């Protein structure tokens, strides 16, 4: 078995790893990146998550505005959307592969990597050929996979999909049941409702968007229900059973009363699990936590000193922009002053791409009060912003939480059109320690969603 010597070896094509691999190759390091599937060049975001889902989401909004009446019209629009998504993903996948592999110091290897030691990895190329790679530095960026809950009949059903496989289907389901009311479940619910499916969410929890203040959660739930999404909370799914071209889902409610739903398709949105099954981490001395995620310190080093874990696999927030920041942390260790770490992150914004998008940063009102802050709070209906009325997207609610002692913003939630863009203004203001009145009195373009800060924050005085 051949052995190749490298400066850096990457396992998995995730955002943090591929960015670091390109950077190191440009520095003249000899780099190899091992990826199991050619369909995953570029990582999760490009192939099976952010990019394809947002492409379909955009197409769904366009379809909703056209008000299709027949199932055939809805089906044609959906099929065209899936085809457009495929073209986009294929283009980006190839671009990511070319960007790395064209560098003379970098090689992309198709195969399955298994650790032999902290410095050596065996790569199964095709089931019969193998190569051993030895490297001074090794980086794991294999991401996560959809969790498959232990539900009777799930594995036998032909109508059950994950977020990955659902986006590859060309047939629009007339009725869709989603198991799980977290971020993935809500985004898919909004998307497929906009395409024209009848969507029902079954969630085991008893509180909708439980990490948010109740006024925000209520506004989101009410908006989704008006769009057509049905919710059943405290729903424990017991069994799935296929019947010809449809399937049935049996669940128990909070009183243990059983109910049966019929659907064309079921989407599992019950979380994600670490993708480590082929790595043999123990052979490298790499420890995992109780959920199987790789243990890392604040600098992303594993329990093997020469091995780092980047992206979702290290158990941190599962966002592409966090993976990109993982790259910055490691780059700083290799070529900087080594001070950047996970502890350097402050006030990371989040967005949930429903209609309108829900975005937030910092503390909720409830969290701030629990932490002992004396707060000033302001809310504003999104419809009070002229831009929202102009573009006929008036649903939503804005909320700001300010420290009454320092006048600094502790948190902000924007349930409104373009919130995924506008929330970044709040993050910058918070990280700079600015007085909330800077945003209150700033001159914004008109009409724009950002000028909503003038009215929202004026309520605090």
Q: How far is CA 189 from CA 229, 233, 333, 352, in A?
A: 7, 15, 42, 12
Tokens standing for residue 344: 């350097």
pLDDT of residue 202: 98
246-252 and 236-243 beta bridge pairing? antiparallel
Check whether 147 has a pLDDT greater than 90.
Answer: yes
Mean pLDDT of all residues in 304-325: 96
Contact predicate 367/411, CB 8 Å: yes
Q: Has residue 1 got a pLDDT over 70?
A: no
DSSP structure string for 167-202? TT--SPPSEEEEE--SHHHHHHHHHHHHHT-EEEEE
Sign, CA torsion 428/183/78/387: negative
Question: For the CA atoms of 56, 60, 62, 65, what is the dihedral angle to 10 degrees?
Answer: -170
Which pair of tokens denotes residue 81? 């959307």
d(CA 164, CA 159): 14
> pTM of the full predicted structure?
0.95
The C-alpha atoms of residue 300 and residue 122 are separated, in whole angstroms, by 23
455 within 8 A of 396, measured Cβ to Cβ = no
3-state DSSP assignment of residue 51: helix
pLDDT tens digit string along 374-431?
Answer: 999 999 999 999 999 999 999 999 999 999 999 999 999 999 999 999 999 999 999 9
Cα 191 from Cα 450, distance rounded (Å): 25
- The reported pLDDT for the residue numbered 127 is 83
* Confidence label for 5 from pLDDT (cuts 50, 70 and 90): very high
325's tokens: 């920041």
The dihedral sign for the CA sequence 380, 384, 389, 392? positive
Structural domains of the chain, ranges and CATH numbers in brackets: 2-145+273-344 (3.50.50.60), 160-270 (3.50.50.60), 350-458 (3.30.390.30)
CA distance 114 to 343: 31
Q: Which of 7, 2, 17 is nearest to 327 (CA)?
A: 17
Q: Say if CB 393 and CB 417 are below 8 A apart.
A: yes
Q: Of the residues 67, 183, 393, 446, which is catalytic?
A: 446
pLDDT band, residue 176 (cuts 50/70/90): very high
- pLDDT confidence band for 31 (50 / 70 / 90): very high
The verdict on whether 212 is a catalytic residue reads no
Q: Which residue bears the tokens 């919710």? A: 231
As a whole-number percent, the residues of the chain with pLDDT over 70 amount to 100
Nearest CA-CA partner of 163 in 13, 43, 53: 53
Q: Enumerate the β-bridge partners of residue 32.
A: 9, 107
Query: Which two tokens mark 426?
Result: 């709040």
Q: Which residues of 304-337 are buried (b: 16+ CB within 10 A; e: fewer)?
A: beebbbbbbbbbbebbbebbbbbbebbbbbeeee
* pLDDT tens readout for residues 248-301: 999 999 999 999 999 999 999 999 999 999 999 999 999 999 999 999 999 999
The torsion region of residue 396 among left (phi > 0), alpha (psi -120 to 50) and beta comes to left
Mean pLDDT over the full length of the chain: 96
Summarize the confidence of residues 18-47 as an average pLDDT.
Answer: 97
Mean per-residue pLDDT, 161-190: 97
Alpha-carbon distance of 21 to 106, in angstroms, equals 8
Could you tell me the pLDDT band of residue 461, with boundaries at 50, 70 and 90?
A: confident
> What is the C-alpha to C-alpha distance for residues 85 and 323, in angstroms, rounded to an integer?
23
Give the integer Cα–Cα distance in Å for 43 and 283: 25
Per-residue pLDDT tens digits for 43-88: 999 999 999 999 999 999 999 999 898 999 999 999 999 999 999 9
Taking residue 258's Cβ as centre, other Cβ atoms within 10 Å add up to: 11
CB-based burial label for 134 (10 Å; 0-12, 13-18, 19+): middle
Least Cα distance to 192 among 82, 345, 289 occurs for 82
φ, ψ (nearest 5 deg) of residue 237: -75, 125
Tokens 């008109």 found at: 446
């Amino acid at each position: 078995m051949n052995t190749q010597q490298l400066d850096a070896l990457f396992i998995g094509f995730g955002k943090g790893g591929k960015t670091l691999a390109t950077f190191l190759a440009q520095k003249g390091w000899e780099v190899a990146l091992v990826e199991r599937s050619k369909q995953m060049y570029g990582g999760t975001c490009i192939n099976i998550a952010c990019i394809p889902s947002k492409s379909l989401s955009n197409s769904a909004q366009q379809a909703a505005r056209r008000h299709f009446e027949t199932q055939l019209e809805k089906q044609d629009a959906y099929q065209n959307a899936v085809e457009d998504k495929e073209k986009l993903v294929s283009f980006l996948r190839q671009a990511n592969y070319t960007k790395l592999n064209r560098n003379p110091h970098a090689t992309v290897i198709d195969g399955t990597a298994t650790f032999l030691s902290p410095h050596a990895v065996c790569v199964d190329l095709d089931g019969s050929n193998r190569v051993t790679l030895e490297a001074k530095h090794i980086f794991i960026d294999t991401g996560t996979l959809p969790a498959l809950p232990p539900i009777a009949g799930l594995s036998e059903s032909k109508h059950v999909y994950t977020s990955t496989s659902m986006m590859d289907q060309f047939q629009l389901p007339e009725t869709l049941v989603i198991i799980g009311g977290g971020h993935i479940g809500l985004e898919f619910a909004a998307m497929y409702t906009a395409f024209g499916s009848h969507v029902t969410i079954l969630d085991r929890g008893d509180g909708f968007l439980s990490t948010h203040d109740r006024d925000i959660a209520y506004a989101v739930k009410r908006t989704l229900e008006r769009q057509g999404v049905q919710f059943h909370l405290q729903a424990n799914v017991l069994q799935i059973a296929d019947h010809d071209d449809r399937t049935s889902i049996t669940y128990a409610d909070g009183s243990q009363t059983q109910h049966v739903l019929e659907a064309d398709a079921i989407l599992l949105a019950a979380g994600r699990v670490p993708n480590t099954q082929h790595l043999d981490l123990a052979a490298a001395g790499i420890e995992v936590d109780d959920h199987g995620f790789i243990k890392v310190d604040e600098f992303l080093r594993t329990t093997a000193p020469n091995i780092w874990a980047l992206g979702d696999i290290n158990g941190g927030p599962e966002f592409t922009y966090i993976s990109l920041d993982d790259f910055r942390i490691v780059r700083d260790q290799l070529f900087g002053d080594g001070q950047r770490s996970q502890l350097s992150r402050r006030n990371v914004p989040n967005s949930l791409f429903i209609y309108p998008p829900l975005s937030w940063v910092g503390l909720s009102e409830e969290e701030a009060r629990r932490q002992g802050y004396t707060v000033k709070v302001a809310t504003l209906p999104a419809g009070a912003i002229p831009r929202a009325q102009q573009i006929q997207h008036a649903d939503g609610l804005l909320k700001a939480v300010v420290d009454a002692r320092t006048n600094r913003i502790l948190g902000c939630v924007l349930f409104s059109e373009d919130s995924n863009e506008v929330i970044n203004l709040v993050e910058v203001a918070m990280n700079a320690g600015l007085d909330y009145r800077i945003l209150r009195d700033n001159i914004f373009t008109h009409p724009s969603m950002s000028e909503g800060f003038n009215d929202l924050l004026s309520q605090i005085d």
